[in-house]
A and B are shown apart, each in its own frame.
Chain A
Amino acid sequence: MGAEFVQFSLTPILIGTLAAIACALPGNFLILRREALIGDAISHVVLPGIVVAFLITGTVAAIPMLLGAAAAAITAVVLIEVVKRLGRIEPGAAMGVVFTTMFAGGVLLLEQTDTSSVHLDVEHALMGNLESLIWLRATGWQSLLDPQALAGLPPELGRMAAACATIAILITLFWRWLKIATFDADFAQTLGIPVKLLSFGLVVTAAIAAVAAFDAVGSIIVIAMFICPPAAARLMTNSLAAQAAWSVGFATIAAMMGYVLAGYGPLWFGGANAVNAAGMIAAVSGLILGLACLFSPERS
């Protein structure tokens, strides 16, 4: 594994791993709260936000897109609450209504407006372009110490690392609140824990993960990573802290194995081309969940 690996595989693997961890961490609480679909919802609703940001600014620059995506995510969270309260229906149905409507709106906007000149399409939104996040300026492992080469790192890496660190810090800081409120929300409220604000904060944290990951790797990974690693981790242990640690491990394994399998797997079987890395990472995470269901110690 020499210069070529550092140039073409190191950064996509790192970005994929960070994206997977950023989604898996809040996913632990979302699945225990039976809100796992919120990740799915958010990753879909960012599409209209990104399209609108493009229409306003006319460029595909990262910052306006991220702002648009974040605005759309927050709009969706508020809309889901509104539909839930006014319609008096269960959260799953409210999410279903809001995210399909917003995603459909995004697709319509994309079709009806002149975005054909730039690389902005539905496939990109779903699958991302992990393979293109390469580090051309690298000449080998020694480039990790070379400031000039480091300046050429894809900007997605820094953004994903910052998002992942923010999420890890938030989850650690509010761990005790999240644990008590997820287990027994009424009891948590009598302890003076701001339960509603905490739920909203958790969804916003999930939105940060979804938006940052969407930018780098597309929404397929987001959906898979919110659910598969935490669900598999739940089957491995009966301790919440251990579950979070397992989920980070599974997310890392899925991202690394998925990327390598996508890049080299088809060649081992005589195929000519690599397959989409984001799709393969999601598939590996599903496989891990399947194996956990069959062989884990705490399956029931």
Chain B
Amino acid sequence: MPRAAKPKALPAQAAFSIRALTVSYGEKPAIISIDADFPKAAMSAIIGPNGAGKSTLLKASLGLIPRLSGLVCVADTPLDQALARIAYVPQRASIDWDFPATVLDVVQMGLYRKVGLLGRLSGQMTQRARACLDRVGMVDLLDRQIGQLSGGQQQRVFLARALAQDADLYLLDEPLAGVDAATERTVMDVLKGLRKDGKAIVAVHHDLATVQDYFDHVLLLNVRKIAEGSIAKAFTAETLNNAYGGRLSARHVKELIPNRGKA
């Protein structure tokens, strides 16, 4: 696999850095030479239209799909040596929820790095899993078969599994897609708590209306990188028009970014 040379200067405050990441499905490029730096103790959103390559970026950066080029670092460590510090939350729909497991079973999967292949799940470990479920408000349902959960409850279980991993960097693929309002609040509260503890959060996000309220930092993407930086700098009428082409009306853009004219 061709790789870009290790860049000389990664920003010191970056929790997660991507350099020259290119992925192609057959002949068709999915993302082209993406560079990005996601800051520590912050919530970052990856946004862009459908088919822009948002999930692809996340998966390719983790090595889940093959990349044509690219280098990925967690803080200053190459990704393959830093996997233990990452918690990945896939899209809810990527999983067969008919699998024979309970809510507690799934959260205990997040403890794998601590117990290993053959280690015993001690009472202390189970206690930990319960505490993670408590943080997402699901501790009462820990014996429930996962197939019987609502979409929002499934998303909370996934978040609890990520919490059990006790990572420094949380990568979430559409954590708010198709969830109820209560779950959205819970998920955001938990993520804000993580930010307060100095963790970095990077989420693929689809709802432009909430970007300003929820996130500190954005990466705007449409196969190529359109813009990157703080909300004030990178989430503007111009960058949105560049990313979405004509798909957003002028009024819609104005609604998304109401106060910039006055500022």
Contact = CB atoms under 8 A, between A and B. Distances in A.
Contact of B63 (A179, A189, A240): A189
A18 to B, nearest CB: 25
A193 B115 CA distance: 13
Contacts of B96: 32, 183
A190 interface: yes
Contacts of B9: none
Contacts of A88: 26
**Interface range on chain B (Cβ under 8 Å from partner):** 20 to 34
Nearest first, the 3 A-B pairs at minimum CB distance are A238-B145, A190-B88, A240-B100
Nearest to B90: A186
A190 B112 contact: no
Contact of A239 (B95, B100, B112, B115): B100
A192 B83 contact: yes
Interface stretch (A144-152, A170-178, A262-270): A170-178
Given A183-B95, A183-B109, A174 B117 contact: yes
A177 B26 CA distance: 31
B99 A191 contact: no
A184 B99 CA distance: 10
B109 A190 contact: no
Interface residues of A, number: 26
B263 interface: no
B90 A187 contact: yes
Contacts of B62: 186, 189-190
Nearest to B119: A176
A182 interface: yes
Contacts of A238: 100-102, 145, 147
A187 B162 CA distance: 10
Contacts of B106: 183
Interface of B: 26, 59, 62-64, 83-84, 86-88, 90, 94-96, 99-102, 105-106, 109, 112-113, 115, 117-118, 145, 147, 161
A186 B59 contact: yes
B88 A32 contact: no
B100 A184 contact: no
A182 B96 CA distance: 9
Given A182-B99, A183-B99, A190 B117 contact: no
Contact of B99 (A32, A187, A190, A300): A32
A2 B82 CA distance: 65
Interface string A82-98: 00000010000000000
Contacts of B99: 32, 182-183, 240
B90 A184 contact: yes
A180 B108 CA distance: 10
Given A186-B88, A190-B88, A239 B101 contact: yes
A106 B101 CA distance: 41
28 contacts: A32-B96, A32-B99, A32-B100, A174-B117, A176-B115, A176-B117, A177-B117, A179-B101, A180-B109, A182-B99, A183-B95, A183-B99, A183-B109, A184-B90, A184-B109, A186-B59, A187-B88, A187-B109, A189-B62, A190-B83, A190-B87, A190-B88, A191-B83, A191-B113, A238-B145, A239-B102, A239-B105, A300-B147
A66 B112 CA distance: 37
A11 interface: no
A184 B118 contact: no
A243 interface: yes
Interface in A1-54: 32
Contacts of A177: 117
Interface in A212-249: 234, 237-240, 242-243
A184 B115 CA distance: 18
Contacts of A191: 83, 112-113
A193 B62 CA distance: 13
Nearest to A240: B100
